[in-house]
Amino acid sequence: MGELFALLSAACYGIAGVTIARSRSQRRGDGGVFLSVLMTAFLTGALWLLAGPEPALQPGAPNKQALALFALAGVFATVLGRLFMYRSTEILGPVGAAMLRRLIPFFAIPLAILIIGDWPDPAELIGGVLVVAGVFAFAGGAAPLGTLAGVLLGLLSAASYALSYSLRKLGLLQLPDPLLATCVGAMAGCLCYIGWALLSGRKDKGTRLHDLLIDRGPGFLGTGLLLSAGQTLQLAALLHTSVTSVALIGALDVLFSALFAALLLRQRLRPTPHGVMATLLVGFGSALLLLN
Report the alpha-carbon distance of residue 122 to residue 139 in Å, rounded.
Answer: 26
Report the alpha-carbon distance of residue 103 to residue 75 in Å, rounded.
Answer: 20
On whether the CB atoms of residues 248 and 132 are closer than 8 A, the answer is yes
Report the alpha-carbon distance of residue 133 to residue 130 in Å, rounded.
Answer: 5
3-state SS class at 25: helix
pLDDT confidence tier of residue 43, bands split at 50, 70 and 90: confident
What confidence tens digit (pLDDT) does each residue in 144-188 have? 555 778 778 888 988 998 899 899 889 988 888 888 888 999 999
What confidence tens digit (pLDDT) does each residue in 98-110 have? 667 767 777 888 8
The C-alpha angle 181, 187, 189, rounded to 5 degrees, equals 105
Report the alpha-carbon distance of residue 185 to residue 164 in Å, rounded.
Answer: 10
What confidence tens digit (pLDDT) does each residue in 187-204 have? 999 999 888 888 876 666
Report the alpha-carbon distance of residue 102 to residue 270 in Å, rounded.
Answer: 23
Q: Which helix (H) or strand (E) element contains residue 39? A: helix 33-51
28 has a pLDDT exceeding 80: no
Sorted by where each begins, the domain ranges of the chain are 2-291
On whether the CB atoms of residues 47 and 130 are closer than 8 A, the answer is no
Report the alpha-carbon distance of residue 177 to residue 193 in Å, rounded.
Answer: 25
Average pLDDT over residues 224-238: 85
On whether the CB atoms of residues 243 and 173 are closer than 8 A, the answer is no
Report the alpha-carbon distance of residue 172 to residue 238 in Å, rounded.
Answer: 8
pLDDT confidence tier of residue 121, bands split at 50, 70 and 90: confident
Distances (CA, A) of 193 to 147, 196, 209, 235: 28, 5, 9, 22
The predicted model scores a pTM of 0.74
Question: Given this model, what pLDDT does residue 143 score?
Answer: 47
pLDDT confidence tier of residue 142, bands split at 50, 70 and 90: very low
DSSP 117: -
Question: Given this model, what pLDDT does residue 31 score?
Answer: 64
